[in-house]
Chains A and B, each alone.
Chain A
Amino acid sequence: MAPAIELRGITKRFPGVIANEAVDLTVAEGEIHAICGENGAGKSTLMKILYGMQAADEGSMTVFGKEVHFASPNDAIDAGIGMVHQHFMLADQLTVLENVILGAEPMRSGGRIDFAAAKQHLVKVSEAYGLDVAPDELIEALEVGERQRVEIIKVLYRGARILILDEPTAVLVPQEVDELFRNLRELKEGGATILFIDHKLDEVLEIADTITVLRQGRSIATVKPADVTASDLAELMVGSELPTPETTESTVTDVVALAITGVTVTDEEDRTLVNDVSLRVHRGEVVGIAGVEGNGQSELVDAIVGTRAVASGTIFLLGDDVTRAPVRHRRELGLGYVPQDRQEEGMLLPAPLWENAMLGHQTRAPFAKGPWVDRAGARARTEEIRRSFDVRTPNVDVAAHALSGGNQQKLIVGREMTAGPTVFVAAHPTRGIDVGAQAAVWDAIRDARRLGLATLLISADLDELIGLSDTIVVMIRGKIVATLDPHDVTPRSLGSYMTGAAFESGATP
């Protein structure tokens, strides 16, 4: 039997980068095949080539024994390939049905869509695989897990026999991952071939029949899960052992640096986003916030930073009441901030690095002299950040968009750390950056903690949260529902707190 997919010598270059270099990949029909690799290893590019969204510069592709050349996703879909993207490809304002039938709409005469037939087909597909969705619901009303189901149904609706899933677990908590894996096994039973991209090794070992490891754009090895351990895989992925976040002995003092009391945040329609949250962060302490995305963590961060008004409650920074203070005042009091989306909220992409290094600190030395910008001072400080945080750049005058994501993140962490913060709010500080940069960010947080920095850490990476925090609080629907000692939890048990499952099963919060 011919393999479902066979890639030979796939090479893809971008300006200044080689994303894939002579990649070989063979996927047997009816198996779950995992592609592993750290960020920037070229997994996503490879999948986009396989799905016709980008063209390979070199190499050949065979699907079910036939050589193919994809000019667009249409060709890939025709060949029986479907893709579930990491960032869901769903239009929020359209219904589930509209999203699913898009591109394969059943028609009536005169260009009209046959919505009745479409719904019938959708229900059939969703029942066949036990994927439950409401066809007429708007996407914006769905939760993350449901949206992912819609994505999978979308692919099945178009009759795909090969499913590509790009980091499907990145947005899910462990319990939702279990549900997803059940679905995937069911699909496999039904004869589907599944290509599964991930970098969480325990998950890969649990679900995959075969594992291919990519490193720096090349296919390094193809192995069976029975033959390898997680640390073997890790070594294959990075070429050395994977670093883990691990704090040393406690440096917590009894000086309260950040005191939040009874903070409630509402949106324009008066819905409560953060509900009566009280929290204390001491100097030398890292407090981690765990929670499924959308449970009020980012709104709480906004309230602390000052970009969102609080409805009630107080926020004190080192004894100063800043509840109603503008952002600038808080930053001048020593609030350092790493936003959750660095390009959205942290960077001026077309501006030079030295201007990016000013952002948030532009009112103070060395960036300003009175009302004037101190260009020389700003450049010198940026050079300092570049050296001590290992920001890889030819000089500090290049525009920020020329830097890789990891280097952008190091610049942000560097600018906040060198400004001498007393309270540091870090939202997903290592999301989407490579292993080297990740370790650098962890080191920076650990070093600052030793020197008495109070840190509030929000992260979806549960290992990071457990490894760095002195205390972990769990948020559900805007409320703090549990305060945990990181020594007592595992990612799995933390996950059950995040979904609320821990409370239903009778565990004491």
Chain B
Amino acid sequence: MRRFAELPAWARWALYAALGVLLLTIVQGFDDTNRLTAASSSQAMLRWGMPILLAGLGGLFAERAGIVNIGLEGMMILGTWFGAWGALNYGAWAGLLLGIAGGALGGLIHAIATISFGVDHVISGVAVNILAPGATRFLSSEIFTGYDGGSITQSPRVPGVGHITVPVLASGPDLLGDVMRADVFFFSDVAGLTRGLATQLSLVTLIALLLVPFTAWLLWRTRFGLRLRVCGERPEAGESQGINVYRYKYVAVVISGGFAGLAGAFIVSPELSGIYLEGQTTGRGFIGLAALILGNWRPSGILIGALLFGYPFGVGLRDLDGAASHSLLLVNAIALVGVAVWAHRRGQRTSTILAVVLSGLAAMWYLVAEEVPDWWTDILPYVIVLVVLVFFTQRLRPPAAAGRPYRKGEA
């Protein structure tokens, strides 16, 4: 066990991922479905994970600077509207930029309220979440109703940016495709999933993924990052060293809004919806916050959380007969057994019992029912978020000063 912990982070995650695929492969062997490891599933996981990832990274910037950002959802909504409007008028790339700008505007409002006026962070965030849908609804009534195919609640179809397919692996020689078609247990599944990730990879997705290492570099390797993190841990320490804490907090919250805005623009892009639709964010800003918590306020952790939470969205969407969701029940049951073992080794009795009970319920349902109803598919992502938080919240450590009001000169 100790030797495992000494492995570099990427190797450990690769092992976890392989274990996950193995689990999915075995399970779908029981059921007559291949949707769990189909290339389309990994693509769906990736695409549905990206808005959550971007929202989570947005939350990371704000909370690392000490500002809790419940307003991510609202900023994401602004991102959807401005993203759609920008893409319709000035092209797909401009749509992304305007989505970012829309979210950043929401971030600026949150920053003014919390930093300059000292409003409670959650209250301000809630206010942004109330303002944003109001603003977009008004804007739609003024603008989208004038478009062909647009109305007060939706826009016409939105263009997207291009895709790339990774050469050699998934095109040309298509090595992964060969392995996939060879139909070897497990290896073909890995190849299928990986090929899904490498085929027709949207440039936005690529950008979103690249933002993970970029964020890590920015926050942990640069002067900007160090100073920003101090604002979230002990702003007075920054102030006493001559750092303009307000400025860093402002920049962080505006960036945070920009990330949420990009998440919104991603949602309206053809990658997911291809259209602006009122209410289409469905709480994913908050799920981004959950990914932030689960990821222990680290970029790589947020990515894991986002993929984990994105997967059921992705699978559920194309699972009209509920067969894949049915298989997922067994996956859930087995994963919960893993959680139970993990909790037991740490001596957490309640967690162990809880995990065993939940696992038993999932397994029982799997055995009793042939398929699961559509409403279960709809709520599965939210249930997974809750269950994951139930088991993993307590051992985490948020930035020490997150949520705390800060006034200059009161040190």
Contacts and interface: CB of A to CB of B under 8 A. Distances in A.
B interface: dominant SS? helix
Sort chain A's interface into a size bin. 20 to 34
A93 B242 contact: no
Contact of B230 (A73, A94, A107): A94
A489 interface: no
B233 A102 contact: no
Contacts of B242: 72-74, 76-77, 103
A90 to B, nearest CB: 6
A53 B240 CA distance: 7
Interface string B220-240: 011110110110011011111
Contacts of A102: 226-227, 230, 237-238, 241, 243
Contacts of B411: 53, 85, 87, 89
Contacts of B238: 102-103
A137 to B, nearest CB: 15
A91 B234 contact: yes
Given A98-B226, A111-B224, A92 B409 contact: no
A54 B234 contact: no
B404 to A, nearest CB: 13
Nearest to B243: A103
A92 B400 contact: yes
B399 interface: yes
B367 to A, nearest CB: 37
Contacts of A99: 237
Contacts, number: 80
Contacts of A101: 226
A349 to B, nearest CB: 13
Interface residues of B, number: 24
A74 B230 CA distance: 16
A113 B233 contact: no
A374 interface: no
Question: Interface centre among A73, A74, A102, by most B CB within 10 Å?
Answer: A102
A93 B399 contact: yes
A94 B242 CA distance: 18
A91 B234 CA distance: 5
B400 A93 contact: yes
A92 B399 CA distance: 10
23 contacts: A53-B411, A74-B242, A76-B242, A85-B240, A89-B236, A89-B237, A90-B234, A90-B237, A92-B233, A92-B234, A98-B226, A99-B237, A102-B230, A102-B238, A102-B243, A103-B241, A110-B222, A111-B223, A112-B222, A113-B221, A113-B222, A154-B241, A158-B241
Interface of B: 221-224, 226-227, 229-230, 233-234, 236-244, 397, 399-400, 409, 411
Interface of A: 48, 51, 53-54, 72-74, 76-77, 83, 85, 87, 89-94, 98-99, 101-105, 107, 110-113, 154, 158
Given A102-B237, A107-B223, A111-B223, 12 more contacts: A51-B240, A87-B411, A89-B234, A89-B411, A91-B229, A94-B229, A105-B223, A111-B222, A111-B224, A112-B223, A154-B241, A158-B241
